[in-house]
Amino acid sequence: MIIKINGQVADIVLDLEKTVGEVLAALEQWLVNSGHRLSGLAIDGESVSASALEMAFSRDVETINNLDIFTSSLSELSAQSLVQIYRDIDEYESLDFDEKQSFFQSWNESPQAKHINEQFPDIFTVCNRAFSGEINFGILRSVVEERLRELGNPAGELPILEQLVSEVCNRLEELPLDIQTGKDMRAAETIQIFSTVAEKVFRIFDIFNRQGFSTDTIKVGEAAIPDYINEFSSVIKEMLAAYEQQDTVLVGDLAEYELAPRLRGLTTALSQAVGEKTWVMQV
């Protein structure tokens, strides 16, 4: 059996694999390590549909002459899954009440939904809330639009990120005074905004790395990025624990003297590295 991956003959020697499913299982770790996922399959020139995958996986390799495996990068599959959400919303809104319930159940069991749940668990939650009528679709569209911008052009998100970081850091520095003066609602809002912005910072770093840009060479002061992010994450956990325990003094100190400068330093280092064109895309 000749095995091709994206049109190229693969140098693969089968050992104990007897079925197509076993062949794909053997390739799974290689795909994961290369940042790709299975996106299509053809057996002897015939494309295999999603509904016929189970039968195809059980095929004996001895009965096959050519196995064509098609892969896509994780970023490509993620973008496709996110774009599909727009179409899902349009279809859902065109249905009557009974059909909407059936659509929602089918959507939750679809490969697209499983991919979104794996890669974007927060967006999966927003999808469920929107399709169940808990929130409006405008919120879901806005969240999807932001993630598509991040995936498509992470460098282009940096000016937006810098503005968000500047605003939330100002609020973090004001947090001790807010707590002391009884502005509990504003203090809680600051913690929520910080959490959202910090998640976006980490996502941008992750996207750069997934797309072949190594961030490991960036430094914040004398600290390498991996170490700096680990320390930053530890401080975030400490601050959230203090907030839950209502240790207002520790919350204020950590917010003003630890989180705000660390968040600024992390974002500034990334922006400077991108501006200096230190990234090398790995194809």
Q: Are residues 23 and 122 in the same domain?
A: no
Q: Give the number of domains in the chain.
A: 3
* Cα–Cα nearest to 203, from 122, 114, 137: 122
Distance CA(17)–CA(239), nearest Å, equals: 51
Tell me which residue range forms the domain holding 86: 77-152
Q: Determine, yes or no, domain membership for 50.
A: yes
Rounded to two decimals, the pTM is 0.76
The domain boundary residue, chosen from 41, 73, 105 = 73
Is residue 122 domain-shared with residue 161, that is, in the same domain? no
**pLDDT of 98-153, one tens digit each?**
899 899 989 998 888 988 999 899 999 999 999 988 999 999 999 999 999 998 88
d(CA 128, CA 134): 8
155-209 pLDDT tens trace: 999 999 999 999 999 999 999 999 999 999 999 999 999 999 999 999 998 888 8
Establish if 283 belongs to a structural domain: no
Which residue carries 């990234």 as its tokens?
A: 279
Q: Which of 23, 52, 73 is the last residue of a domain?
A: 73
